[in-house]
Structure formats: C-alpha cells, structure tokens
Amino acid sequence: MNNKYRMDKPPLTEATIRLYVGGNEVHTASMGDGPVNALDRALRKALTRFYPSLEEMELVDYKVRVLSGEHGTGAKVRVLIESRDHKCSWGTVGVSVNIIEASWQALVDSVNYKLMKDEKDK
C-alpha cells in the first residue's frame, strides 16, 4: 500500500494484490480514497472477470472498534463491514492487531459470502 500525496487534492492510496483463481495468478492494483477502499477495488478488479456478479456488490458501511485499549497502538481491532447487492445486505467481521489485516479478512469474507449466495440462488 502506498499513499500518494498531491498538493492540490486529497491523498489517494494504492493497493496491490496477488491471488490465485482456479490456478491462475492474478496480480493487480487499484487506487482508492483510503486503504480499505483501495483493497476493495483491487480485490474486485482481480475477481470480476471470473465472477461478473461482483460488479453488483458494494461496500456500504465500515466500522473499526478497538477491543482492548490498554495496549495502545498494539491493541486488537475488530472491523465490521456491511455489503449489499440488488437482493440483500450482509455483514462480515475481521479481527487482528493489524487494521489492514482485519479489513482484508472482512472484505474477503464478504466476497466469499456473495459468491456462495449466488451459487445457492442458481
């Protein structure tokens, strides 16, 4: 992840991901308004060609809660993500001492839920 500072505009964040889909390596990057937005865009950019229904999915809410404040910046966080498509909405959770890791867990679970839901609806 890399923050791009521009003097005349708010900073953009770039996320780069590498994953495997059905034995195919997919390596992509995307820009976003923050790290979670960039990760969300990069993940769906990588997967949409294999799973076109992800186009209709959107992240509608993102919340972070510190689970134990006595550890300062080393405290565990819980990330709650609410997503939706044209049929319903759902929530996913990620927990880690790393806010990006917790966000990634929740994003991946949200995409997996969407794909399992679509498979069930066939």
* pTM for this entry: 0.85
Q: Does residue 121 or residue 115 have the better pLDDT?
A: 115
Q: How many domains in the chain?
A: 2
Compute the distance between CA of residue 121 and CA of residue 109 in angstroms, rounded to an integer. Answer: 18
Torsion angle of alpha carbons 26, 29, 34, 36, nearest 10°?
A: 0
Q: Do 1 and 28 share a domain, yes or no?
A: yes
Q: Do 62 and 122 share a domain, yes or no?
A: yes
For the beta carbon of residue 67, count every other beta carbon within 10 angstroms: 11
Boundaries of domain holding 43: 1-50
Instruction: Judge whether residue 74 has pLDDT over 80.
Output: no
Instruction: Judge whether residue 122 has pLDDT over 80.
Output: no
Instruction: Judge whether residue 76 has pLDDT over 70.
Output: yes
Q: Do 71 and 100 share a domain, yes or no?
A: yes
Q: Do 74 and 104 share a domain, yes or no?
A: yes
Q: Do 81 and 116 share a domain, yes or no?
A: yes
Q: Do 75 and 109 share a domain, yes or no?
A: yes
Compute the distance between CA of residue 56 and CA of residue 83 in angstroms, rounded to an integer. Answer: 10
Q: Do 66 and 29 share a domain, yes or no?
A: no
Compute the distance between CA of residue 94 and CA of residue 108 in angstroms, rounded to an integer. Answer: 9
User: 56: pLDDT confidence band, cut at 50, 70 and 90?
Assistant: very high
